[in-house]
Structure 1
Amino acid sequence: MRMLKSPQALATVVLLAGLAVIATAWGFQIIGGYVPCELCLEQRVPYYTALPLTIFALLLMARQRFVLSTGLMLMVAAVFAYGAGLGVYQAGAEWGFWLGPTDCGGNVTAPSDAKDLIGALGKVRLVSCTEASWRMFGLSFAGWNAVASAGLAVLALACAFFSYRRRGS
């Protein structure tokens, strides 16, 4: 139980769990063949931001710089909370609770002539941000990302709390 109050242990859990989530997303894309939409790709950015910050916070904790590591872990929590919000937004759009983005469907450059248009149509694979391509237990990729990001945000907040408590020791 004492390990759960260790900021280093909590930051390590945030780091390893975050790496597992982003590796899973890449695995579904590369191995599973699921093409991510623009909003799915946007939901990966918090991982690319928060995980390096977590590594830096761990380095600060190793040097007993708990005030600075507290600030970093608060930023990590905010970044993952933003990621959870993106996941909720997309999942809600997939369920039809609200409208999704109108420009989500792929980055296609305009062809220069009619011949290019016909060739481009055969190669373009548009992926909608408002249609779930996969679900498990009722949650889509976006829904699972909302759950994972929210959990990581809570863990990062707990880490910040225990890191702050260690500032004087």
Structure 2
Amino acid sequence: MQQRLILIAALGSALMLAAAFGFQHIGDMAPCKLCLYQRWPHAVAVLIGLIGALFPHRLLAFCGAAAALSTSAIGAYHAGVEQKWWEGPTTCTSGPISDIGVKDLLDQIMTAPMVRCDEIPWDMFGLSMAGWNAVISLGLALIWLAAAQRK
């Protein structure tokens, strides 16, 4: 049963990655910096799941849960940035202009990413992609934790 739960959780992360790449390449929605940060823990969870499928162990399940919880937290943070509940990283959100020189400001503009973290490119039922990642990844973390409780 532990092995099956590990595989289900890893498959969930693989599907989340597939959806993200689908939105990017098929839906032509370029990811922002925070979107990219949300992908890494899913990739780690898939890797842990592959190892756990061969060698199921409680420690691996806890590591998978940590990966899922970390992407859930990043997703929740990103959703808050999109809703303007708090400021995001200055490298991908709009914000007040600091007292910097014209040359530095121009350099920032020219090197700034094209996709902003504080805009919602897509939503469903009032949740953005980041919000859905937070919710679904929390569910995946619960599956990982259930796997950790099995022998």
* Correspondence 1:59-74 to 2 at 5 A: 59-61=54-56, 69-74=57-62
- What's the TM-score, normalizing by structure 1? 0.76
* Correspondence 1:1-169 to 2 at 5 A: 6-61=1-56, 69-104=57-92, 126-162=114-150, 166=151
Q: Rg larger in 1 or in 2?
A: 1
Query: What corresponds to 2:101 in structure 1?
Result: none
Partner amino acid for 1:41? L
CA distance in 2, matches of 1:100, 1:80: 21
- The answer for unaligned runs of 5 or more in structure 2 is 94-105
Could you list the structure 1 runs, at least 4 aligned residues long, displaced by more than 4 angstroms after superposition: none
CA distance in 2, matches of 1:103, 1:34: 19
CA distance in 2, matches of 1:43, 1:138: 20
- What's the TM-score, normalizing by structure 2? 0.84
Cα shift readout 1:81-116 (whole Å, capped 9, x = no counterpart): 0110000001011111111111126xxxxxxxxxxx
CA distance in 1, matches of 2:12, 2:59: 20
Partner amino acid for 1:17? G
Give the number of equivalent residue pairs: 136
Q: CA RMSD in A?
A: 1.8
Please tell me whether the aligned partners of residues 14 and 43 of structure 2 are also in contact (alpha carbons under 8 angstroms).
no
Partner amino acid for 1:21? M
CA distance in 1, matches of 2:50, 2:113: 36
* Cα distance change on mapping 1:79 and 1:100 into 2, 3 Å: same
State the shift of 1:125 in Å.
6.5
Partner amino acid for 1:103? T
Q: Which secondary structure does the structure 2 equivalent of 1:102 belong to?
A: coil
Please tell me whether the aligned partners of residues 13 and 43 of structure 2 are also in contact (alpha carbons under 8 angstroms).
no
Query: Percent identity over the alignment?
Result: 41
CA distance in 1, matches of 2:146, 2:22: 29
**Segment drifting more, 21-30 vs 125-134:** 125-134
